[in-house]
Structure 1
Amino acid sequence: MPAELPGFGAPSGIRKKQVEGRIKLGPRGLAGDGVADREHHGRPEQAVYALGALDRDYWQEQLQRELPPGSMGENLVIADMDTHDVLVGDRFVLPDAVLEAVWPRIPCTKLAHVMGDKKFGRGFLRSGHLGVYFRVIQPGSLAAGDAAALDASAAVDRRILDVVA
C-alpha cells in the first residue's frame, strides 16, 4: 500500500513486499496493491508490473547487491522472461489468470530515489532491462511458483522496447 517515501516528500506505492499464498488478480491489479500517483499509475494497462528473472539478475549484477522481491516496484518476477524478447501483445498464461504485455516501464524519480541515484533513470532506460506492464486478460489469482507459459498468438511484430524508441 502507498506510504510516505522517506526523503522524497510524497507518498508512493513503489515499495512492494513479498506475500505468501494466492493473491486475487483483477482488471486493476493485485489485491492489496495500492497506487499513490493515479495520474501516472494504476490504469488497466498497468495492472501488473513484472520484471523478468533475467532482468532482475542483470540489475543485481550491475548494482552489486541483492534486490529483495519488489524492490524496483515490481509486482511479479517471471522466470525466463527478458524484456528484450517480449513483444507487444505477448500473453503469459498462469494457472488461474492471463496477462498481456502492453508497454515497458519508464523510469521515474521515485525509482531513482529508491535506488539512491538521481541519475539511475537514464541508465535504467538505456539498459533495456525495464520490465513490462501487463493488462489482465483473464482475472483470477496467482502465487509464487506459478508457471507462466508464453502465448505469442496475440502479439504484434513490435518489441516492447520499441515502444520507448
Structure 2
Amino acid sequence: MRLLSVNVGRPMPVDYTDAPGGMTGIDKRPVAGPVQVSPVGPKGTVGGGVAGDAVCDRRHHGGSDRAVYAFAREDLDAWEQALGRTLANGAFGENLTTSGLDVTEALIGERWQVGSDLVVEVTAGRIPCRTFAGWVGERGWVKRFIEVGRTGALLRVIAPGEIRADDPITVVHRPDHDITAALLLRAATTERHLLPRTLAAAEWMESELLHTARTYTEKYG
C-alpha cells in the first residue's frame, strides 16, 4: 500500500458552484514533496490540512472531520473505463491518490500511517455535490457516483507529518465494528434505514453525519 501522489488545488472561478465568490479548489494536481499535513480546527476555520491546498467553501468543506480526502487509483482506473477518458491523479478532487488500499471499504475510525509521521483517521465517505458534478461534467453524475458507491474516504489528522509520492501507507488501527465509508454513504443517501446501524461508529464519525444519524434514530428508531 502506497501513496501515488499528493494533490493540491488553487482557487479558480467557475459557474457551477454556490461557494462564496464562485470559487473552488477542486482542480487538484500532483505536487512534489515533501508536503506538510496538519490538524484542522472546527469547520470554518483557516489553516491546517494539506499545505498549499485551497478550501474555498468552508460552509461544507474542510474542518477537522474533512481535513483530507483520499481516493484509490484503482477506482480512478475503473471510472476511466466507464467514462472513456483519462483521469489523472487528483481528478476527483482528492488530496491523496493511493494504490493497494481499498479506501472505500475502510472502516470509520480506521487509522493509516502515511510516511514516517502522518497519521489520519477515516471519518466518512464523500457525498457528491453540485461542484463535483460540474467539475466532472457528466450528466446525472451525483446519482451515478452514489450508485457505484466507490466513495473514497474523508480523513481527520491525528498526528501531523510530511508526506510525498511513494510513501508507504500502513493501517495501524481498525475499530471493532463493520461500518465502512461505503456503507455510511448509502445510509446518508439512498438507504437511510441504515442510519441507526451507523451509530456503532459514532465515536469516529464525521460530525454532520453523526447528527443526521442520531436525529433519524430518535425519530424512527
Shorter-chain TM-score range: over 0.9
Q: Does 1:79 align with 2:79?
A: no
What is the match of residue 43 of structure 2? none
Q: Deviation of residue 155 (structure 1)?
A: 5.6
1:3 and 1:16 map into 2 onto residues whose CA distance is 11
2:30 and 2:101 map into 1 onto residues whose CA distance is 19
What is the match of residue 5 of structure 2? none
Q: Between Structure 1 and Structure 2, whose CA radius of gyration is higher?
A: 2
2:130 and 2:139 map into 1 onto residues whose CA distance is 7
What is the match of residue 16 of structure 2? 8
1:111 and 1:67 map into 2 onto residues whose CA distance is 14
Q: Does 1:90 align with 2:110?
A: yes
Q: Does 1:52 align with 2:61?
A: no
> What is the RMSD computed on CA atoms of the aligned residues?
1.5
Greater mean deviation of Cα atoms: 30-39 or 62-71: 62-71
1:14 and 1:146 map into 2 onto residues whose CA distance is 23
Corresponding residue SS for 1:129: coil
Runs (5+) with no aligned partner, structure 1: none
What letter is aligned with 2:86?
Answer: E
Runs (5+) with no aligned partner, structure 2: 1-9, 41-48, 188-221
Match of 1:133 among 149, 154, 160: 154
> Does structure 2 retain, via aligned residues, the 8 Å contact 1:82–1:129?
no
Q: Deviations over 1:26-52 (max 9, x none)?
A: 013100111111110011111110001
Aligned positions, number: 164
> Does structure 2 retain, via aligned residues, the 8 Å contact 1:50–1:132?
yes
Greater mean deviation of Cα atoms: 98-107 or 114-123: 114-123
What letter is aligned with 1:54?
Answer: E
Q: Deviation of residue 157 (structure 1)?
A: 2.5
What TM-score does the superposition give when structure 1 sets the normalisation length? Answer: 0.92
> Does structure 2 retain, via aligned residues, the 8 Å contact 1:49–1:133?
yes
Match of 1:69 among 70, 89, 95: 89
What letter is aligned with 2:54?
Answer: G
Q: Deviation of residue 23 (structure 1)?
A: 0.3
Q: Deviations over 1:48-90 (max 9, x none)?
A: 1000122222211211211112111100112112244211011
Q: Does 1:143 align with 2:164?
A: yes
Q: Deviations over 1:90-116 (max 9, x none)?
A: 111112201111100110111111111
Q: Deviations over 1:118-158 (max 9, x none)?
A: 41011101111111000001101110111101123346331
Identical aligned pairs, as a percentage?
A: 35
What TM-score does the superposition give when structure 2 sets the normalisation length? Answer: 0.70
2:177 and 2:53 map into 1 onto residues whose CA distance is 29
Higher helix residue share: 2
1:155 and 1:68 map into 2 onto residues whose CA distance is 35
Corresponding residue SS for 2:150: coil
What is the match of residue 26 of structure 1? 38
